[in-house]
Structure 1
């Protein structure tokens, strides 16, 4: 490995269908829409953020975030202040969780993300970037024919076989944040389960008044549990309904059968997770009825 290079995980991410939108742009309104999408993806992935807490967190993990056009590149090395304190597994999983959560925010905003993540070496000095993990992440993104962030086999093996995995019981294994499946051509794919990650991050309370009612309730009577479960279920239902609506709108606006197929796949993924969380009450994504 070259002097100045580091080993770590690298994600390459971009906006689904971005090139077609650029080529089809004819008006200033079209350009403004494209520019707005680029700015929002950079915001959601904390590129050039002015939030002091996030800046310090990025320094702690030695995280690099680069952006050009609609693409975002994230690199997190295996050696940093974070890994020296916590070991390598938890900080890397935390970063992958953050990537998936940012993806969820993008999708809810109508920006569909496709990407790849790999483990390998990375060299960045001044304006020179050479990276084995970036090349493989880029290739993985190109092979992913559905709007998800896919992991390479090398990264999956590294995480699965990491010795710190033994500290987790199977029921709470962090590997549940990844989902095994097949893409729209029935090829195996392991990807970040951004829908479940988003749902598990919801709190449910809409305002301080609702939270005050919860805190005033008796914990012994089970009233608090009932309130918490009710607001969480409501939050999940609302998020899934919005997610389904966003997929349906994208499917409706897609002009090519090949592109529509990506949203058919995404709707099926949505419906699987929605049913896991809410059963028969889940707001499903039906692309073929009004």
Structure 2
């Protein structure tokens, strides 16, 4: 039986899983780079990074997934066949890899995922699932996380119950506010997964986490005087530390130091006048 797919010639809404993604702080990056004469440099870097990493979203010609990019905004969609298990697993894993790869370059993203009617072609993205995914991204995510809306959570719960297994590599986490989100750091377990040298594989994972830590520390230092932005990277740093405690408890140096994640008041001194 032919798989469901978006028809370029005859637009029709299909039940789909849709993800909307936005790069955190990108508007300010554009303003800053153009004011300092570095607009073309930023444009070139962003173009390179998106081209380099977008293939992990729709990795091969056999995938029915579609992608639409507008600079820092991305919409990814997969039409759903049968119970949607394979499409859900595919989009979660692929989006996690994209999020992880950008984070290693110092670009942190937020996003939302929803399920519903949707259509996409070269010229248009359309449907209530897009509106719901965008709402999750712009109003609910807040931090550099990609959250699942209630419909997606319910679908995932059905799959867990029906197949008696958790999503691949435990990629979904539940935040303190109850929101389900993609734990993108689990992507490190995909790198060289078939490597026969366990020590080499372990070193690769540690190096990737060290790079993630380095980029986060840069962001925490850069934005320490802007509490609204800084708080978003504190959230991501806490997620990083949680992941390290869970999978690399002996590697204490992988964690981000607590003094970077706290803001203490101080008394007034003569130096303040």
TM over 0.5: yes
* TM-score, normalised relative to structure 2: 0.81
Contact 1:47 1:66 in 2 (8 A): no
Matches within 5 A, 1:47-126: 54-56=59-61, 60-79=62-81, 88-124=84-120
CA RMSD of aligned residues (A): 2.7
2:145 is equivalent to residue 161 of structure 1: no
Kept in 1: contact 2:64–2:78 (CA 8 A):
yes
- CA shift, 1:69, in A, is 2.1
Q: Indicate the residue corresponding to 2:236 in structure 1.
A: 266
CA contact (8 A) 2:57 2:76 kept: no
**What secondary structure does 1:279 align onto?**
coil
- Check the 8 A contact 1:204/1:231 in 2, yes or no: no
Report the Cα distance in structure 2 between the residues aligned to 1:105 and 1:95, rounded to whole angstroms: 15
Normalized per residue, the structure richer in helix is 1
Gaps of 5+ in 2: 1-9, 261-273
- Pick closer, same or farther for the CA change 1:78–1:241 going to 2, 3 Å: same
Q: 1:37 maps to which residue?
A: 46
Q: 1:125 to 1:112 in 2, by over 3 A?
A: closer
Deviations 1:205-248 (A, max 9, x none): 9xxxxx7xx5xxxxxxxxxxxx51x2232222211111111100
Partner deviation per Cα, 1:8-63 (whole Å, 9 max, x = no partner): 111110110011122333133244224422441343122999xxxx441xxx3321
Q: With structure 1 as the length reference, what TM-score do the two structures score?
A: 0.76
Partners of 1:125 and 1:12 lie apart in 2 by 16
| In 2, Cα distance between equivalents of 1:107 and 1:256 | 20
Distance 1:287 1:41, change over 3 A: farther
Matched position secondary structure for 2:233 = helix
Q: Which runs of 5+ in 1 are unaligned?
A: 206-210, 215-226
Pair 238,204 (structure 1): closer, same or farther in 2 beyond 3 Å: farther
Q: Structure 1 residue 4: deviation in Å?
A: 1.1
CA distance 1:96–1:48, shift in 2 (3 Å): closer
Report the CA distance shift for 1:68/1:3 in structure 2 as closer, same or farther (over 3 A).
closer
